Structure 1
């Protein structure tokens, strides 16, 4: 009686959360993040337990074959849903239908050749193997594609491994004790149903939490990036610098201001679409030229900025010159006619600064150097002067020769 109540509650949880997942996925429109797949997984497992209640116990029937197939198709749907959550465009219907056909045929063959105990043991054994692979994939994800979800992924791995262990124990009990191990009121079955009810209560809200966190992260990322070039905007630069300078390994940084030469002339002559192409090209070159860990941003119009971390002024000047030379040497392909356009940039380099609050002053330094470079002929790299408003600036990295040109 207790086991029947537990399975009934389990069915209710699974079917209710299936409906919830489906409703939420419809609100997400184009980017469902696997919630529609998770809805199918909950629905399949809920229906499997409904059939188990109707069946009442181990039996050889079409209902039993469908029950076993739905039970194992559910983790397949969850696995595919997880792949969708992490951006893999996998289909759902075809893999499920292929799996259902193959496993249904396998049940018939095992039942006829080895008997009912072997068929039920196959269900437990395959379940244990599938959940072991899922737990291993989650652990692998913690170290690779899901580092930002470390705590959540470890939690999921522990829960999934628990299902693996219980199915492995059931497999052993079936081989040693036969179908008697599957009696609903047996002690082990009660433990199994309690754990499954716990999972049905905990896992769906956890999945919703993951989706909400991912949506929040994407909204935060959109607010911190320029929509055209995908570089950081001013807000994103400030936030990233706050994180960097709050770390124990933080060292002084330098700011590079990059401005596309004669950009208005490009827009007037070739059109705004060509201008946008040039901006995206410069952003791409900037992103690939800076070192790993440096920050890149677009702060408006044709102006870009790079924040170089953990480097001295000579290293920053060399990087700025590589950037200038790379943009000068690479032609930009215009959309449509295949016309190639060359552009150049002028780069202003600040002296070092420490702390996110120093970014504004560093950008003013770099901007002043940038405009000196513009006045001196453009297509140059210019280091900030050692004085502002006639007053000396106390800098340890201020060399005697403050200007370097690329020409």
Structure 2
């Protein structure tokens, strides 16, 4: 069976090897006080280890290899970063290592000190056949407390990584949180299919421009539909004609350039999700909610927060239209509960977390996590596959964490860095 350096790192880090009568290949007794801090960057694998070799206690770095000869192959002999290595830990010792000062580097061989059961479990986890994730046959054996604690940790990892995009845009907007929130909210109004044109729309139509017309619904709608490129062609109905006339004036006044209309996608979409309907809803939100992020930061109750999106009023024209000049059977066009959940998850929770982190306010971080706990789990293929394995997934807190687990741990077989994988390896 194959062995990897990652596995050796794992064995050394948690001292999962037989330490009975531990000796170097030269015959000196070894006692490990501290395995050191695992270094995942350039340089020795473990730093600041403490151990006794013979009668001398050492403090320094430990380097691990599959075979002793890897020291030479990896050119460590000429690298000054390895001069203070105090122990060379290898799976097989096949060549002595001498440091530049002429000292023989003490070497510990683990070939006969790793349990075959541990090695077998590792091999099955990393190299075994799988349909979905490496631990799919054992994940339900992991106790609930371990799973819960690990999901909490990697959910924070996910939010921290997603926060980077917010902070990048915030810097572009010169620290304007409201404008940044508005742009992210717009992108999420487009959901996955029309996220890009919605984002481009928001960037081309700053809030400060909309604020100048906040008391005129027709002008707000004209700006949004016009900037989206839906008023460039000929229209017949009275409502879109009014929008077009208004937009021509506003376009010249604010020196606006609309988004390319061809970016918007209608294909294979339910009419309720057509970009025209989403734009009408977005216009309604803009009209009823100024300084939306400030409201989000102030509101404590989830249901009141949800009310910011549930009660959006849109122009009556859309009651019996999905497109301009194409009358349809009357139907409500309110933002559905599922759509509101997506906005709360992808925009509101993210900004509460990012704002709390940036301003060192744990209160907002906790609010973000509680908001995710209050939202239902997402429905997608990945979450469905976890459910099929036997996991009970009820909240967005859990589903978001599992997406992070799948995409950044399972898919890369980082089982040794995963609490679930660690627990499975230690199952007796």
TM-score normalised according to structure 1 size = 0.17
TM-score normalised according to structure 2 size = 0.17
Larger radius of gyration: 1
Of Structure 1 and Structure 2, which has the larger fraction of its residues in helix?
1
Higher relative contact order (CA 8 A, sep 6+): 2
